[in-house]
């Protein structure tokens, strides 16, 4: 087992963690540890909410989630010799839940508090707890579903330089300024999604690792939120970044200051419920290396990776199509997001034929290895997105021919609700 260079405690409050948690991107957060190129290390991670969710049968914790302090991450880690312009190579060797904590959760956030991709249709909080049985998972809140996960870190990233951080703040503030009325997350009358367009630096509940306390207030004014992925990779939430993958991330500061966390046991493309993967606390084993001057060599702006050959290998899919026409019949211009939404909504409607509630179906799409592809992006105005649901994740048969022959009814339980 590689040496553990960062420890967490799933039972302790955030301010009593063995190593200081970080929840913002900032170049001046001091490294929590150092790694040599070629070295492999173990890093422990809290779940992204920092222990806010418990293994029970209500969704009160999801409903009452404090969002400002997320994500709760581990790092930064200095990579010896890393310089701006290098590419950091990260091999994802293995990851998993803690031995005494073999469960994960998926939440549907309240529309007023976080929302999700289909929040107009699912405005209320709900939760599913998943038992993690080695590579397999199942949930008492979504019955007759059982599948192997492609566990992966939701977040891996390098620290931005001061210049890059300023650029992030500039461009995101410009976007925020386009929607000044969207300060509140939702229009309560229409229940139409009205989240803020982006999240500005939020000094509330900021965690900057081991930074000197006196330096925190100034840094907190500029430190970037960890929700979006950006040039430094960050919260990419790519379901295929599993064991055996090799990731290439640009370096922006001396030492790279690598941060990771937000471990997922499994995720569908899009992670659509927002708290949408099978979220878990756990450990991840990595080996890091450097490609000196790699950014110039590759000529690319963003992170790249090679998958690990061990994604679940399903072949028996039911595929749903969606186009960029809203549910109310409004035509949008080549909008892949709406295409995906319509395909997801069709998939949800379809799965309810088999005894699942719409919420359960929403959770299945968000957690199982579902593929969402941009099939056609040039056929204006209707971008076509496909959502492919693997039949193999169900204990029952969801084939359309089976359905047309009478189908498979049944009671599949229900997601946990607030009490």
Residues 215-234 that bind a copy of itself (CB under 8 A): 227-230, 233
Contact 238, 77 (CB under 8 A): no
**CA-based nearest residue to 166, from 227, 211, 231:** 231
Per CB under 8 A, the list member of 19, 102, 143, 359 interacting with a copy of itself is: 102
Q: Which helix (H) or strand (E) holds 146?
A: strand 142-148
Q: Contacts with a copy of itself in 305-344 (CB under 8 A)?
A: 305-323, 325, 329-337, 340, 342-343
* Site membership for a copy of itself, residue 297 (CB under 8 A): yes
Per CB under 8 A, the list member of 198, 259, 263, 363 interacting with a copy of itself is: 198
* Site membership for a copy of itself, residue 296 (CB under 8 A): no
* Site membership for a copy of itself, residue 243 (CB under 8 A): yes
**Smallest distance from the beta carbon of 363 to a copy of itself, in angstroms?**
14
**CA-based nearest residue to 152, from 37, 4, 260:** 260
For a copy of itself, what does the binding mask look like between residues 139 and 178, x meaning CB under 8 A? --------xx------------------x--xxx-xx---
Q: Contacts with a copy of itself in 16-45 (CB under 8 A)?
A: 40
Alpha carbon distance 182, 171 (integer Å)? 17
* Piece in contact with a copy of itself (CB under 8 A), picked from 51-59, 203-211, 214-222, 386-394: 386-394
For a copy of itself, what does the binding mask look like between residues 250 and 269, x meaning CB under 8 A? -------------------x
Per CB under 8 A, the list member of 33, 291, 295, 358 interacting with a copy of itself is: 291
* Site membership for a copy of itself, residue 248 (CB under 8 A): yes
Give exposure, 255-266, as e/b (b: 16+ Cβ within 10 Å).
bbbbbbbbbbbb
* Site membership for a copy of itself, residue 367 (CB under 8 A): no
Contact 283, 43 (CB under 8 A): yes
**CA-based nearest residue to 145, from 411, 396, 404:** 396
* Site membership for a copy of itself, residue 408 (CB under 8 A): no
From residue 54, give the alpha-carbon distance in Å to each of 13, 68, 69, 139: 14, 19, 17, 14
Q: What is the DSSP string of 125-141?
A: -EEEEEEEETTEEEETT
For a copy of itself, what does the binding mask look like between residues 46 and 85, x meaning CB under 8 A? ----------------------------------------
Q: Which helix (H) or strand (E) holds 338?
A: helix 336-352
**Smallest distance from the beta carbon of 329 to a copy of itself, in angstroms?**
6
Our CB check for a copy of itself shows the closer of 77 and 394 to be 394
* Piece in contact with a copy of itself (CB under 8 A), picked from 8-16, 203-211, 216-224, 241-249: 241-249
* Site membership for a copy of itself, residue 373 (CB under 8 A): yes
Our CB check for a copy of itself shows the closer of 77 and 354 to be 354
Our CB check for a copy of itself shows the closer of 58 and 199 to be 199
User: Does residue 345 sit in helix, strand or coil?
Assistant: helix
Alpha carbon distance 77, 6 (integer Å)? 9
From residue 231, give the alpha-carbon distance in Å to each of 165, 217, 219, 253: 10, 25, 20, 13
Our CB check for a copy of itself shows the closer of 123 and 317 to be 317
Task: Name the DSSP letter for residue 186.
Answer: B
Is the CA virtual torsion 389, 394, 397, 403 positive or negative? negative
Q: Contacts with a copy of itself in 120-139 (CB under 8 A)?
A: 133-136
* Site membership for a copy of itself, residue 183 (CB under 8 A): no
């Amino acid at each position: 087992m590689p040496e553990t260079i960062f420890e967490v405690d799933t039972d302790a409050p955030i301010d009593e963690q063995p190593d200081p948690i970080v929840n913002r991107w900032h170049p001046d957060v001091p490294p929590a540890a150092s790694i040599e190129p070629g070295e492999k290390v173990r890093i422990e991670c809290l779940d992204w909410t920092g222990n806010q969710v418990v293994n029970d049968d209500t969704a009160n914790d999801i409903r009452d989630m404090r969002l400002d302090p997320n994500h709760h991450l581990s790092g930064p880690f200095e990579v010896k010799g890393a310089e701006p312009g290098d590419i950091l190579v990260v091999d994802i060797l293995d990851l998993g839940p803690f031995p005494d904590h073999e469960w994960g959760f998926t939440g549907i956030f309240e529309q007023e508090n976080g929302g999700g991709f289909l929040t107009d249709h699912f405005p209320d909080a709900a939760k599913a707890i998943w038992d993690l049985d080695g590579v397999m998972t199942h949930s008492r809140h979504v019955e007759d579903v059982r599948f192997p996960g492609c566990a992966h870190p939701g977040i891996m990233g390098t620290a931005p330089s001061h210049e890059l951080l300023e650029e992030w703040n500039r461009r995101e503030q410009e976007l925020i300024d386009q929607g000044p009325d969207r300060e509140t997350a939702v229009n309560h009358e229409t229940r139409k999604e009205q989240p803020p367009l982006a999240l500005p630096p939020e000094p509330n509940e900021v965690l900057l690792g081991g930074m000197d306390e006196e330096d925190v207030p100034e840094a907190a004014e500029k430190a970037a939120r960890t929700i979006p992925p950006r040039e430094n990779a960050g919260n990419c939430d790519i379901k295929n970044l599993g064991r055996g993958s090799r990731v290439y991330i640009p370096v922006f500061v001396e030492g790279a200051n690598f941060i990771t966390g937000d471990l997922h046991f499994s995720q569908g493309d899009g992670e659509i419920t927002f708290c949408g993967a099978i979220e878990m606390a756990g450990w991840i084993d990595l080996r890091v290396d450097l490609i000196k001057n790699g950014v110039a060599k590759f000529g690319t702006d963003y992170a790249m990776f090679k998958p690990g050959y061990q994604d679940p290998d399903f072949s028996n899919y039911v595929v749903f199509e969606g186009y960029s026409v809203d549910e109310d019949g409004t035509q949008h211009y080549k909008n892949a997001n709406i295409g995906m939404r319509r395909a997801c909504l069709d998939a949800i409607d379809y799965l309810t034929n088999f005894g699942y509630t719409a919420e359960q179906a929403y959770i299945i799409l968000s957690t199982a290895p579902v593929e969402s592809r941009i099939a056609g992006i040039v056929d204006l105005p209707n971008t076509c997105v496909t959502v492919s649901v693997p039949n193999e994740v169900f204990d029952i048969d969801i084939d359309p021919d089976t359905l047309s022959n009478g189908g498979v009814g049944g009671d599949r339980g229900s997601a946990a609700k607030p009490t």
